[in-house]
Amino acid sequence: MALEMLMNIQFKTKEQNIVKLHLGMSHRISAVLIISGRWSNKPKFHMLLHLPPSIRISKFGPASLLATEKFESYCIILHTASIHSISNQIFPNHDSEKSFSE
């Protein structure tokens, strides 16, 4: 019973801590982006933006983000395949299909 009560206390998330986390991450991301804007495309930086809402939703923290990070990395591939194609305006999936099949 005592261990169960201790675990409940450990996993309770306080809103003020999430706000502090969000502010700290915002300052850190801003500082890094001033140095180099190339970091904004990195999946880890994108994941940091979703960290506070994920902690609010999840009972045990942001572990669910780890499963989606792999799939989000394909967005840049799809974006690159579609944006650098003239024929994609007429046939949107044609060049994307070619680039994924190679």
Q: Are residues 50 and 98 in the same domain?
A: no
Residue 102 belongs to domain spanning: 66-102
* 25-57 residue pLDDT tens: 888 888 888 887 777 777 677 777 777 777 777
pTM of the model: 0.45
Domains in the chain: how many in total?
2
| pLDDT tens string 53-73 | 777 776 655 555 555 556 566
Q: What is the SS3 string spanning the chain?
A: CHHHHHHHHHHCCCHHHHHHHHHHHHHHHHHHHHHCHHHHHCHHHHHHHHHHHHHHHCCCCCCHHHHHHHHHCHHHHHHHHHHCCCHHHCCCCHHHHHHHHC
The answer on 28 and 72 residing in a single domain is no
One domain for residues 1 and 39: yes
